[in-house]
Amino acid sequence: MTDHDSHQFDSTTLREYDIRGIVGETLGEADARAIGRGFATLLTRAGGKRVAVGYDGRTSSPVLEAALIEGLTVSGCDVVRIGMGPTPMLYYAEASAEDVDGGIQITGSHNPANYNGFKMVFQGRPFFGDDIQEIGRLAAGGDWTTGSGTTQSREVLDEYVERIAEGLDGIDTARLSGLRVGWDNGNGAAGPALEKLAAKLPGEHHLLYTEVDGNFPNHHPDPTVEANLEDLRQLVADKGLDFGIAFDGDGDRIGAIDGEGRVIWGDQLLMIYARDLLVRIPNATIIADVKASRALFDTVAELGGKPVMWKTGHSLIKSKMKETGSPLAGEMSGHVFFADTYYGYDDALYAGVRLMAASARLGKSVTQLRGEMPAMVNTPELRFQVDESRKFAAIDEVKARLANSTDDVDGTDGVRVTGKDGWWLLRASNTQDVLVARAESDSEEGLARLVAKIDEQLQLSGLERGPQAGH
């Protein structure tokens, strides 16, 4: 039996929403080839044939792309190479082309430079959870189809940028031409797309770090960490811009700050998008994850929408959108999904354009929209390490203890408990050996009481919230 007849993945790489690892340690060319073989096997068995492949700006991406394509073609799939670009460009290539049945983006997302990985879409739906485990099972047994697929290259960048710019269709250009926006690409894969987009958009645009550099020399490309928004904040202040937009490394998550330098977190962005959308689509279902502010769910309800709280994870949210026909969804982590006049996937460039659109249509500046939001006091996401074998069990213990609580206990994803002081959340991460906690109140005293409740539950399960709690 040759080494190509089966393959074992490192136990840490096949994750809930994607495949990810440290290049040269837990992830390499043999893994990429086996992923290609497994994906092609599943796709051809489901009647599909052609796969779009893209990659991000990491130094390891081209080598992994070559191995992935070899695996796909040797198992009978035809490959359409779209080259380097943001993950949403790969999603676009898959969603917009009649002849494409699946897509794989090679990306380490916002992980450190030595990581890389794969995000996948299968016949128009997210490919995650058991799908990913199935790739591992097929590899272990060498249960792969064989064939000889073809490879072609396809230019989609210009078409993709053109499609994003359509987010401003039908809006009075006079309202848009006065907008002044800052954009921080953080040396991520969206750089060339952002440069082309900014040249097309009305208004004045100032760009930072559009050069793609997998070593991320300026700051780490994760816009949910406030320190990474400092350069953008400075740009907005120096030039007196209306607002600023930042991307993560592969362009599917957005961060934003208003004209006063205040961060607009994921749930607050969703409040702005909801306000704009519900004018045009009354009663729409709008989905957010369990970490989102109560203010968001309340605002959606007040505006006549149907708020739905759902599990954290971009694949899970996308699946729930399809099931409910929701035109808009989002997560605290900056994934925002538009399905009203777009394809329902997370695209930070498109989300940036839609922030311009919302401001223009609502006739208010982004700073004004941010300023009108109810003032809530909340913790950042608190994370603490828990043994993998304990993390889900601990949540079950908390649920059991709260069975007779007078507070409202929601078990959608972990436990989210709402009482007179506000709410607190404790959930197990699907991607790491950590428990995640968050709390929100309308006063500092209320928040302290909620955090004490989290600590109490941890102690009762023999766990401590360590000093390293933070992002």
| Neighbouring residues of 143: CB distance < 8 A, sequence distance ≥ 6 | 41, 137
End-to-end CA, the chain: 46
Query: Which DSSP string do the residues of 274-333 spell out, in sequence order?
Result: HHHHHHHSTT-EEEEETTS-HHHHHHHHHTT-EEEEE-SSHHHHHHHHHHHT-SEEE-TT
- Residue written as token pair 């009649």: 98
Measured in degrees and rounded to the nearest 5, phi and psi for residue 75 equal: -105, 15
315 catalytically annotated? no
Contacts of 11 (CB under 8 A, 6+ apart): none
Q: Give backbone dihedrals phi and psi of 81, rounded to 5 degrees, phi first.
A: -85, 120
CB distance 371 to 272 below 8 Å: no
Determine the Cα–Cα distance for residues 229 and 246; give it in Å rounded to an integer. Answer: 7
Q: How many residues does the chain have?
A: 471
Residue 39 CA to residue 333 CA, distance in Å, equals 27
Q: Is the dihedral of CA 377, 383, 388, 389 positive or negative?
A: negative
Instruction: Round to whole Å and give the CA distance between 389 and 394.
Output: 9
Q: What does the DSSP 8-state code read for residue 375?
A: P
Considering the candidates 60, 75, 109, 326, report the single residue annotated as catalytic: 109
Cβ(184)–Cβ(151) below 8 Å: no
Catalytically active residues, by annotation: 109
